[in-house]
Amino acid sequence: MNESQFNQLAEQTMLAVEEAIDASGVDIDYDNAGDILTLEFSNGSRIIINKQTPLSQIWVAAKSGGYHFDYDEQKQLWCLGGDTSRDLFTQLSEYCSQQAEEPVKL
């Protein structure tokens, strides 16, 4: 994947995360500025999602740690450590549930 393809895919993914948050019905505020998507929870905690263009990765920083997601072109998923069962949206649901202190499904 070249840089242009990565940037387009990463931007579409960030938009999809925003839409999933809106659809979740959970009180999560978000702000997207400069390729950084910040999710803020009512308890003041945050999750930071940003694209790392040189590495063609999406990085997530949550209370539970820092995570790097690579794109699996065959499965068309952003995956944690190459594990397709640990895709970006599954993992974000888990991180958001922990920080929102209620179930979140993205």
What are the DSSP calls for 18-79, one per residue? HHHHHHH-S-EEEEEETTEEEEEETTS-EEEEEEEGGGTEEEEEETTEEEEEEEETTTTEEE
pLDDT at site 49: 98
Q: What is the pTM of this model?
A: 0.93
- Residue 17's Cβ-count burial label (10 Å; 0-12, 13-18, 19+) is buried
Give all domains of the chain, ordered by start, each with its CATH number: 3-100 (3.30.920.10)
For the residues 80-106, what does the mean pLDDT come to?
94
Is residue 100 very low, low, confident or very high in pLDDT (cuts 50, 70, 90)? Answer: very high
pLDDT single digits (tens) 25-63? 999 999 999 889 999 999 999 999 999 999 999 999 999
Query: Are 80 and 86 a contacting pair, CB within 8 Å?
Result: yes
